[in-house]
Amino acid sequence: MALEIIVMIKQVPDSQEVVIDPVTFTLNRGAARNVINPADENAIEAALRIKDKTDAHITVITMGPPFAESALIDCMSRGVDDAVLVTDRAFAGADTYPTGLTLASTIKKLGKYDIIFAGEESTDSSTGHVGPGVAEFLGTDQASYTSESWYEDGFVYAKRELEDGTEIVKMKPPTLITVLTNANDPRRATLRKKIDAMKKGIKTMTLADLGMPPEWVGLRGSPTVVKSMRTIDEKKREGKKFKIEEIPKLVDELIEKKIISI
Amino acid sequence: MSEFDVIVVGAGPAGASAAIKLATSGSSVLLVERGDPPGSKNVSGGVLWGDSLGSVAPDWEKAAPMERYVEAKGVSFLTKDSKISIDFRSKKLQERRSGYTVLRTKLDGWLSKKAKDAGAMVASGITVDKLAFKDNRVIGVEQDGDIITSDIVILAEGANPRVAINSGIRERLKDRDVAIGVKEIIKLPEKTINERFNLTSSKMGFASEYVLGFLEGGVKAGGFIYTNKESISLGLVISMKEMRQNNNTRSFDLIEQFKEHPYIAPLIEGGRVDEYSAHMVQEGGLKSVPQLYGNGFMVAGDGAGFSFSNGMVLQGMNYAIASGIAAAESAIKAKIKSNFTREGLSSYEERLKSSFVLQDLMNFKGIEEVTWSDMIHRGIPNMSEELFLSLFSENGQPKAHLINLLIGAMGHSDVPRKDMVINMYRMLRRM
């Protein structure tokens, strides 16, 4: 029987384009285009690499607004079989706790799952909570911060990058793996797969489909309260121009200010 | 049986217009675009001239993301210390129709969405490798080893026609075919733009071309400044030949020299560079127009060499749109007759010939020899500078007649007087 793989992704504003609103201190998402969270692209690739060698079926899921559809189609254009968008107004304002809970409920609804992949963290909030949270809600094993993973003889192996070395863990499915940013080189979409993806389309699930109580999700289900947020003003660096012939003067000044010593 | 009636390669103004036209008339269309989202890889100076969009999007003036209406159009010659300009402003320009400044990321995104809404399948973020052939006929496109089939392929891939070259339907680009365009989008407040360019409202726009006769090493380049709502498009176009002859020239140095000119710098002062880009520009005129159509394919837009510059206006998007629509109409006709051969698509050339697209290119054949001449880049600017300096200064000497001043000024032009006269005649004829 085919291995059932789930990949959880998030659409984030392109970090190169995002700006912080100087008045409200929140991310001005409107200005930036939305992309797949970079680590999630590596998670997709990790899943596809298992499918390259093993009979597997991959479903990508995301919780987000309807325009997240394009990110899901993009995943299918790379070789993911199915895509589910979990979307509902009730999910708005969720912190990492109800997000994990909602995704875990979605995965349970989908039926059988052997391996769940997620990126290590998102570039727009960088908590790294959601992946491990889902593993806890589902009660599965987990391996976080992995650079490589493979499936062999009924076991899932994952290579974890730790501060003092690497660790290879062997786990029995079902299990959850979070993948490091840049862990691999994600493959590109192909035209054939993109056409198929657009024809097939994505599935959508709402709060009603999940059967969760509304007070468990979204802002209401979120224990985190953001008290305030502020940007740090960039400190203006002192600068001084010297002409080539003034280099001795520059050296003297640097010694005087104890920046260099001879 | 093909998967699609038509595959359109490239979602710029040519490809997107073709896709809108085709989808609206009920054809199944696949529009494939390298950039994701569509528009993100597309660059042009930034004025859409005319009303070509009218036939696929009658409401475009209201609905499409236009920046400002060109009510002030300039042509300037810059020397190191001077600026000699025509600054034409007219309330009648709108009646006669000029153009709108546009930002391509927005405009092309809008066009693609329009194509999608009309029923076309839009696949962005995908680079087509080449055309797929069978029995000397195009049967679709090839991408990553797969062939996607269609009765007709419309190639609208822009100034860098890689698919056409990879497919062997056109030769590799030669220096004479292309120029390099470099461009910056400089952010400035709406009000500041209105004040600096003397615009009475934020709908009114200024567009100007510049002959940059002062660049280091005597490099010939043409500059442009167009006002958007809250930014300025500033850039220059330099021919490949010029780049090669001046080995130490870098396009990004040239744009800095343009920006630092004493009469350009104040226009952009305090602005933040929001985007910079570089792109090939079609320059070869009619000479570079390759095979426009063949068995199962048509070529439209920049990829077919459809752009126009006489030094006073630079146009490309209007030709792109008109040629894209002409290709779509020819495809629709071919479908009715079920004849997708070269003969079945021959109405494409007829359509182009009877429209401004090919007529402009034919009428202005050889104009690039004028626009890149010493006469334009050194002769006229230097002569005019001297002439106006003599006219507008007062040094206590007896005044000379204009004609004598003119002859005297010609001596400052770096170009022999005889050549000046011959060139002047040639230029007027070609323009």
ipTM of the complex: 0.87
State which residues form the domain around A123.
3-216
CA distance B123 to B161: 19
User: Per 3-state DSSP, what percentage of chain A is helix, strand, and coil (rounded to 5)?
Assistant: 35, 25, 40
Greater model confidence, B415 or B315? B315
* Coil, helix or strand at residue A199: helix
Residue B285 scores a pLDDT above 70: no
CB spacing of A192 vs B148 below 8 angstroms:
yes
CB spacing of A191 vs B37 below 8 angstroms:
no
| CB < 8 Å to B141, chain A | 191
Model pLDDT, residue A25 = 65
Q: Is A260 inside a domain boundary? A: no
Residue B362 scores a pLDDT above 90: no
The closest alpha carbon to B154, from B321, B9, B329, belongs to B9
Residues B236, B184: contact at Cβ < 8 Å?
Answer: no
Q: Which residues contact B321 (CB under 8 A, 6 or more apart)?
A: B13, B14, B17, B52, B53, B56
* Residue in B with minimal Cα distance to A34: B37
CB atoms within 10 A of CB B40: 16
Q: Which residues of B touch A (CB under 8 A)?
A: 3, 30, 32, 36-37, 40, 121, 123, 125-126, 128, 141, 143-144, 146, 148
Mean predicted confidence (pLDDT) in B363-386:
82
Q: Is A222 inside a domain boundary? A: no
Strands (E), B291-371: 293-294, 297-299, 308-309, 314-315
Span B20-78, pLDDT tens digits: 999 999 999 999 999 998 998 899 889 999 999 999 999 999 999 999 999 999 999 99
| CB < 8 Å to B3, chain A | 195
Residues forming a β-bridge with A116: A6, A176
Model pLDDT, residue B93 = 86
Q: Could you give the count of Cα atoms lying within 13 Å of B242 in the half-sphere of its Cβ?
A: 30
Q: How many domains does chain A divide into? A: 1
* Residue in A with minimal Cα distance to B125: A189
| CB < 8 Å to A77, chain B | 125-126
Instruction: With both helix axes pointing from N to C terminus, report the angle between B317-337 and B13-24 in degrees, rounded to the nearest 10.
Output: 30
Of the candidates B3, B37, B146, the beta carbon closest to that of A190 is on B146
CB spacing of A195 vs B123 below 8 angstroms:
yes
Of the candidates A74, A192, A198, the beta carbon closest to that of B146 is on A192
Length of chain B, in residues: 431
CB spacing of A191 vs B126 below 8 angstroms:
yes
Cα–Cα distances in Å, from B267 out to A256, B81, B198, B227?
A: 43, 16, 11, 11
Of the candidates A191, A195, A198, the beta carbon closest to that of B144 is on A191
| CB < 8 Å to B30, chain A | 195
CB atoms within 10 A of CB A157: 16
Model pLDDT, residue A30 = 66
Residue B95 scores a pLDDT above 90: no
Greater model confidence, B218 or A137? A137
Residue A256 has which token pair?
Answer: 């005087």
From the candidates B28, B143, B153, which should be mutated to test the interface with A, based on the most A CB atoms within 10 A? B143
CA distance A222 to A88: 16
Q: How confident is the model at residue A39 (pLDDT cuts 50, 70, 90)?
A: very high
What CATH number does residue A151 fall under?
3.40.50.620
CA distance B70 to B339: 43
CB spacing of A33 vs B37 below 8 angstroms:
yes
Whether omega for the bond prior to residue A248 falls within 30 degrees of 0, making it cis, is no
Residues B200-217 as b or e (16 or more Cβ within 10 Å = b) = eeeebbbbbbbbbbbbee
Residue A31 scores a pLDDT above 70: no
CA distance A147 to A78: 20
Mean predicted confidence (pLDDT) in B282-299:
83
| Residue ranges per structural domain of chain B | 4-65+103-171+290-364, 177-282, 373-430
Q: Is A39 inside a domain boundary? A: yes
Q: How confident is the model at residue A128 (pLDDT cuts 50, 70, 90)?
A: very high
CB spacing of B143 vs A74 below 8 angstroms:
no
CA distance B7 to B338: 16
Mean predicted confidence (pLDDT) in A38-54:
97
Q: Could you give the count of Cα atoms lying within 13 Å of B217 in the half-sphere of its Cβ?
A: 16
Q: Is A17 inside a domain boundary? A: yes
Q: How confident is the model at residue A167 (pLDDT cuts 50, 70, 90)?
A: very high
CATH topology of domain B4-65+103-171+290-364: FAD/NAD(P)-binding domain (3.50.50)
Percent of chain B at pLDDT > 70 equals 98
Model pLDDT, residue A41 = 97
| CB < 8 Å to A69, chain B | none
Residue B204 scores a pLDDT above 70: yes
CA distance B323 to A74: 31
Span B339-355, pLDDT tens digits: 999 999 999 999 999 98
Model pLDDT, residue B123 = 97
Q: Which residues of A touch B (CB under 8 A)?
A: 33, 74, 77, 188-192, 194-195, 198
The CATH number of B177-282 is 3.30.9.90
Greater model confidence, B217 or B337? B337
